[in-house]
């Protein structure tokens, strides 16, 4: 069994780390607050810092909120880089800037270690069910070495290309997800305002070409008003910000992405940044003065 590290034990990180622990690996854990007691089973060990995790583990996973968080954990005081020795592998499963990821990879490579960017899609449900989609950027040999561990956390596992390409793929994913949430929100709002039962409209649409996971899962959330976070609006805003910043640097126009980002900004401006991203429909409802359904 491998000696693994896992840094970042939030909504996504905790169940992902739990799968590694359950498989019998020795896992060294670190997070901003106290390591959850329910993870300290089997061979799991709580560590005082990211540096300690890197000193004890051969493969170090990170699942953190944003680019500055990853930079701090990697290169800040008592960070991962201070605990690395040659031959180790760092795997960042956060969703962060592709350009910064390339820079991080170069710095870790200079220490004689491999770096994989491996952002995920599937939310809390996928993390708990070990059914995440994992998009990886990095060298082939490192990918093959870590792949059996990815398989403990996800189902659709793809090496997209070199460092940064995994993060680029994740940004593309977040564009598609955001636009689909907006489309489902608009459709259900239209149906409800017109007097149709949105639950029955959704049921009918699930049998046609409009069927999608977003309509299935988030459409139900919109109707049942269950906006407890699987993936927070604030985090999706961050991802769309990465998309728009990348588009500016590439000279590409992403008008629909910009529109979805503005809808999420409406939600954040009204104190809803910690709700699930399906609550994007609330921005549409505020403009319409009508809710898809009552709680």
Count CB-CB contacts under 10 A for residue 145. 16
**From 88, 128, 170, 238, active-site residue:** 170
Beta-strand relationship, 120-121 and 132-137: antiparallel
Length in residues, the chain: 295
Q: Which two tokens stand for residue 157?
A: 């596992």
| Cα–Cα distance for residue pair 176/200, rounded to 1 Å | 25
Task: Quickly count: other Cβ atoms within 10 Å of residue 129's Cβ.
Answer: 14
Task: Give the C-alpha separation, 104 to 101, whole Å.
Answer: 5
Q: Examine the residue annotation and report whether 170 is marked as an active-site residue of this protein.
A: yes
Number of other residues whose CB lies within 10 A of the CB of residue 32: 12
Active-site residues, by number, are 170
């Amino acid at each position: 069994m491998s000696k693994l590290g896992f840094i970042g034990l939030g909504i996504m990180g905790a169940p992902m780390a739990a799968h590694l622990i359950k498989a019998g690996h020795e896992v060294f854990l670190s997070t901003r607050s106290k390591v959850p007691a329910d993870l300290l089973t089997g061979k799991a060990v709580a560590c005082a810092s990211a540096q300690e995790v890197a000193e004890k583990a051969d493969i170090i996973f990170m699942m953190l909120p944003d680019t500055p968080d990853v930079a701090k954990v990697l290169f800040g005081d008592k960070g991962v880089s201070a605990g690395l020795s040659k031959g180790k592998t760092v795997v960042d499963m956060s969703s962060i800037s592709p350009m910064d990821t390339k820079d991080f990879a170069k710095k870790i490579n200079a220490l004689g270690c491999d770096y994989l960017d491996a952002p995920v899609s599937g939310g809390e449900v996928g993390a708990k069910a070990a059914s995440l989609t994992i998009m990886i950027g990095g060298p082939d040999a490192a990918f093959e070495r870590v792949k059996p561990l990815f398989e403990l956390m996800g189902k659709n596992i793809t090496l997209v290309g070199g460092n940064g390409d995994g993060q680029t793929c994740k940004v593309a994913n977040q564009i598609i997800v955001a636009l689909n949430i907006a489309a489902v929100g608009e459709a259900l709002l239209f149906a409800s305002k017109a007097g149709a039962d949105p639950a029955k409209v959704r049921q009918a649409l699930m049998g046609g070409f409009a069927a999608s996971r977003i309509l299935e899962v988030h459409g139900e959330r919109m109707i049942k008003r269950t906006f407890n976070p699987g993936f927070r609006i604030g985090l999706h805003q961050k991802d769309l910000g990465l998309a728009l910043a990348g588009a500016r640097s590439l000279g590409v126009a992403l008008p629909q992405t910009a529109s979805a980002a503005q809808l999420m900004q409406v939600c954040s401006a009204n104190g809803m940044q910690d709700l699930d991203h399906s609550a994007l429909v609330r921005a549409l409802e505020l403009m319409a003065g009508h809710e898809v359904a009552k709680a």
